[in-house]
Each structure stands twice: as structure tokens, then as C-alpha cells.
Amino acid sequence: MRLLLLALVSTVTATAAQAQELRPLCADRPGLGTPSCTVDPGHVVAELGLADWTHDADGIERSDDWIAGDLLVRIGVTPRLEVQAGWTGYGATRSRPVSGGAASRESGTGDITLALRRNLSNPDGSGFSAALMPFATLPAGGHAIGAGDWGAGLVAPLSYSIGRFSVALTPEIDAAVDADRRGRHLAFGSVAGFGIALGGTVNSAFEIQAMRDEDPGGHATQILASASLAWQPRGDLQLDAGAVAGLNAASPDVELYIGISRRF
């Protein structure tokens, strides 16, 4: 009986210690960049974009895009390695001529994204942290928001944090799908960001992104500015919201979104 009680107490103590040793929740959401942290081994982080609206207008056409159910599942495999799977449950587009006339509408599901993130330094994201993240997209979506062919890329997130402040850089190079939905082309760029912890549970981030897209149908460079907030009411839950503004003619005018992340 004593041995049984001792084993039970040891098990409970070890379980409690393991729970206490979990890293702070480090979600991919919100923002334009990608964090270098990885999920604790044996745990899962589910991140869901609840609503996302993007508006763009030029001299010819106005367009609005809506996305809901943008799901990312991250699974911790080792202390420095996680696997990811992402899928967009619903997306809709609406465009109409500036001069008037009938609007065109499309809706459907999105593509599937698979990725590996291998942390190289500080998997909890503290101090100087770095990672490599190769990914691939599979053409599972419809015409409305699906790319129409497979794509791939590599992201190399870097960050440095000290106290309440952090800076981050997310260079990326892609084999992006052509606009005509057949074949691939080079796209590359980076996100640079600055984060401030506003309290024990609220974090803010301000980012700039520049991405060069060398599509055969026409080259373009998008430049975006982003501001976002993340609130963690408890250690395994995060709520977020963000806004993105286009800084040049090649970029969408504005994007607004909200989402939630949960660790299991």
C-alpha cells in the first residue's frame, strides 16, 4: 500500500511539474511574420482565423475578400521540432467595376499547407531565437481562393527579445504558383517587426513587409504595414486582432482580422 501511494504521489508530482514546465504559449497569430518558437513536445496548438476581410480598389475595379475558418494545427514532435497543417474552410470574393455594373462573386475552400519548423536556438522564443521552416501548399481548394497548383517555400524566422521589447525578421523565398494557375515562379521578401509587451497578458506588434513577386504575367512588389494585439487571459488561450494597410499601388488597401489560439 505504501509503495502504491508513493507511486501515485510521484506520478501526480511529475505531471504537475511537467505542466508547470510548459513554455509560454507562442502562437503564429497574429501579424505578418512567423515566430521562431516551437510547440512543446506532445502538445498541440490550434489557431483559427475567425474572420478576415480585405478590400482593394483601383481605377477600374473594387474587390472585397472574406475568409472564415482559417485553421492552423501545430504539433510538437521534439523540443525543437514541430509539424504543421493548415487549411482554409471558407473564402469568398466579390468584385465590381468602379463605373458601375454587375458584381461578380465566387466562394469555396482553400488549399492545404504542410510545414516543418526546426528551431535552432531557444525554442521558447526567448533571447536570440532562430528557426528554419520549409513548407508546401497542395491544390485542394476551389477557384475562388485556391492557387490551382502546388507551391513550396522556405521561411527563416529570427527574433531577439529583452524584457518587454522584441525585434523580429522573417525572410522568405517561394516557388509561388503563377496567376494563370499553372506552374511556378520566384517570389521573395521579408517581414521586419517590433513587439512590445503592454502587460502580463497583452502583447502588441508593428511590422513592415516587402514581397517581390516575379509572376510571368506581371512582376509586382507589395509593401504592407501591420499593427496587431494579442491577449492571453490564461496560459493556454490567446485572442487576437489586427489591421494591415497597403503602402503602394500593388498592395491591397486594407485588411482587418480576428482570431483565437488554444494549446492542448
Please state, for a pLDDT cut of 70, what percent of the chain lies above it. Answer: 92
In a domain, 72, yes or no: yes
In a domain, 92, yes or no: yes
Average pLDDT, stretch 213-229?
Answer: 96
Q: Residue 59: which pLDDT band, with cuts at 50, 70 and 90?
A: confident
Q: Which of 17-31, 73-87, 215-229, 246-260 shows the lowest per-residue confidence on average (mean pLDDT)?
A: 17-31
In a domain, 15, yes or no: no
In a domain, 148, yes or no: yes
In a domain, 16, yes or no: no
pLDDT of residue 6: 38
Q: For residue 10, is pLDDT > 50?
A: no
- The whole-chain average pLDDT of the chain stands at 91
pLDDT, tens digit, 9 for 90 and up, residues 173-204:
999 999 999 999 999 999 999 999 998 899 99
Average pLDDT, stretch 108-130?
Answer: 96
Question: How many domains in the chain?
Answer: 1
pLDDT, tens digit, 9 for 90 and up, residues 77-90:
999 999 999 999 99
In a domain, 62, yes or no: yes
In a domain, 230, yes or no: yes
Q: For residue 101, is pLDDT > 90?
A: no
In a domain, 193, yes or no: yes
Q: Residue 138: which pLDDT band, with cuts at 50, 70 and 90?
A: very high
Q: Residue 259: which pLDDT band, with cuts at 50, 70 and 90?
A: very high
Strand 158-162 to 128-138 pairing: antiparallel
Q: What is the CATH number of the domain that holds 141?
A: 2.40.160.40
Q: Which of 8-17, 157-166, 191-200, 254-263 shows the lowest per-residue confidence on average (mean pLDDT)?
A: 8-17
Q: Residue 8: which pLDDT band, with cuts at 50, 70 and 90?
A: very low
Domain that holds residue 73: 23-263
Q: What is the pTM of this model?
A: 0.88
Residue closest to 211 by CA, chosen among 232, 186, 229, 245: 186
